[in-house]
Structure 1
């Protein structure tokens, strides 16, 4: 049973992401198009579970399956799609068994890539919604301190609401971009 804990934003999370993203990109090789820092640790000023989420865009998602041993050599547990079609999911714990990293790999054209990046960027650009998210996570972590499913279920409605706002915001951003 994992304890659900959220902590204040740590500026070192960006450095941890930078180091890990290089290792992951090396392990997955030429298949990697881009590695993004997503999740709450990528949003300054909000509380987060201290787990670094990496979104890896790849040319061919099936090739990732053949690179499982490379990911295992970095300490990752290979989880397959893990509930999201088209994803390859990996998770990593430290030597004490504390979760430190999640990797979500998707084909570069996946709608999931757009959704995750839109959510992150929307939260960064809308600190009032980010703070609402932070407060919700703090409350849920207190309420479900030993129940990760309850914690995740408690965030679901808010995340769906923010996903809709993020898509609308991203669409507006695209429409308002000057032609080059």
Structure 2
């Protein structure tokens, strides 16, 4: 997978909303909330060209029978994909455009950590700038190696997530 990091695009919220509408239709009454997360949700932040979407549902098991509807939208069904209790879907193959991370409303740990990082970066532009610069450097260093790119961000992201969750919970 090619690693391309680009300047913030003001069209990303509209792209999120367009996809969120289709997801709302699929999840129906099971949907509690839906959030734009990840780097494309932070104005001004450099990001890979992937819209991350986090629906929160009443019952995670209710998502499984809907897999064919997500496939009809072009998503690949990935199951938990390394995070217990999540349902993960990705769209676009090697040129991924969207990722869906569905969590049950009782999974506050994963929901809060995603929202905390997003909100922290929105409120702390110096941290967002440092994160964006790191991503740019790693993309230049590993333009065709997504695993090395992710490994290069790992320590920074873990520290960021820790600080973000503390900040989020103290508000």
Q: Tell me the TM-score normalised to structure 2 length.
A: 0.97
* Alpha-carbon distance between aligned partners in 2 of 1:15 and 1:65, rounded to the nearest angstrom: 27
1:74-93 → structure 2 map (5 Å cutoff): 74-93=73-92
Question: In the TM superposition, what is the alpha-carbon distance from 1:28 to its structure 2 partner?
Answer: 1.6
Question: In the TM superposition, what is the alpha-carbon distance from 1:164 to its structure 2 partner?
Answer: 1.0
Residue in 1 aligned with 2:164? 166
Residue in 2 aligned with 1:68? 67
Q: Is the aligned partner of 1:146 residue 2:144?
A: yes
Residue in 1 aligned with 2:121? 123
Conservation of the 8 A alpha-carbon contact between 2:2 and 2:95: no
Give the unaligned 5+ runs of structure 1: 174-180
* Alpha-carbon distance between aligned partners in 1 of 2:99 and 2:36, rounded to the nearest angstrom: 10
Residue in 2 aligned with 1:101? 98
Alignment match of 1:157 (pick from 136, 155, 161): 155
Residue in 2 aligned with 1:7? 6
Whose radius of gyration is greater, 1 or 2?
1
Conservation of the 8 A alpha-carbon contact between 1:41 and 1:53: yes
Instruction: List, as ranges, runs of 4+ consecutive aligned residues in structure 1 with deviation greater than 4 Å.
Output: none
Question: In the TM superposition, what is the alpha-carbon distance from 1:98 to its structure 2 partner?
Answer: 2.1
Conservation of the 8 A alpha-carbon contact between 1:28 and 1:70: no
Give the unaligned 5+ runs of structure 2: none
Conservation of the 8 A alpha-carbon contact between 1:88 and 1:106: yes
Residue in 2 aligned with 1:20? 19
**SS class of match (1:86):** coil
* Alpha-carbon distance between aligned partners in 1 of 2:169 and 2:30, rounded to the nearest angstrom: 28
* Alpha-carbon distance between aligned partners in 1 of 2:165 and 2:9, rounded to the nearest angstrom: 27
